[in-house]
Structure 1
């Protein structure tokens, strides 16, 4: 089976600056007031964040490296897995409460939000997502080798998904992020506690 690269992606709200070089390194500079969120607590819906959507099959594992310069509240970058505007998850680093946090937002009609302090270097990390039989497994890595679990949750079963790099800056414009080391392939099938 052929698995697409970032060059095959289609932008959901393309930023003004988003060069993608031949080696698959993507540079993004966010527009102001960009975010993905639905309803919960705030009462608003935003679906104008930057997301380079690559078509993935019903079962897959993908990962990418994220390097960002987070400066303002809610600056965020990472990975997104999406079925439609009401069913998606985003995960990565987000600036909140004065520090860079490991953050994930799952949306099933409305959004939830989970955060935890990230012990690694928040300006340079990897995210991995595996979808298999209605389950999404999110992992993070400081080195691209060791992958502790971030989240395990239901994901609507679909014939295919959109997956790829995501960045938003709800309070400003100008968050600079570099995405690289993209891979997309079959669902890994590893044991839940296999951190390789």
Structure 2
């Protein structure tokens, strides 16, 4: 793992061992802005680094999601008003795959996760002002989760995130961090 990763909203309990990061979430942590609920929260745990230009970032995530809005995955941000988070979020009694894109106001796109959510992979590719978001249930096949516009900027931050808006104590393990130049594959190439 790169040594230039740093915390935004560092949790009370975390440990780094080689290329793995284990986190236990603090109470009432979240990233959200305005839409539907009318509040703004920027208290979730983010561990990331600064990047310049186009890139691909991917990570393996392990967690036991059980309480409403438990969430973990990846995140990209330029500031508190411009960011994207994606991964598993527990809602309606089961884990779902989804993403929240915030360009001052948050949106939330969510759907059924087609496998056990205790282990999954997330990948994000930035290419100019576009984001390609993918997930994997096996680390081999990478379906498209979202293609989105995101304002181009000289640099931004990318990394992992986890939150528990309704409780504390979700234990998340992030492994196999990979940050490379942008994978410039065809949009429906699942590799």
How high is the TM-score relative to the length of structure 1? Answer: 0.96
Distance 1:94 1:7 in 2: 28
Q: Greater strand share, 1 or 2?
A: 2
The separation in 1 between residues aligned to 2:2 and 2:12, in whole angstroms, is 17
Count matched residues: 191
SS at match of 1:122: coil
Could you report, residue by residue, the CA deviation over 1:140-190 in whole angstroms, capped at 9, with x for unpaired residues? 001111000000000110111101110000000000000001000100100
- Counterpart of 1:195 in structure 2 is 190
1:92-103 mapped onto 2 (5 Å cutoff): 92-103=87-98
Partner of residue 10, structure 2: 14
CA deviations 1:56-76 (Å, max 9, x no partner) are 221000100000111110000
The runs of 5 or more residues in structure 1 that have no matched partner are none
Deviations 1:124-144 (A, max 9, x none): 000000000100000000111
Deviation per residue, 1:96-140 (Å, 9 max, x gap): 001100010000000000100100221100000000010000000
CA deviation after TM superposition for structure 1 residue 6, in Å: 4.3
In structure 2, the gaps of 5 or more residues are: none
RMSD value over aligned CA atoms?
Answer: 0.8
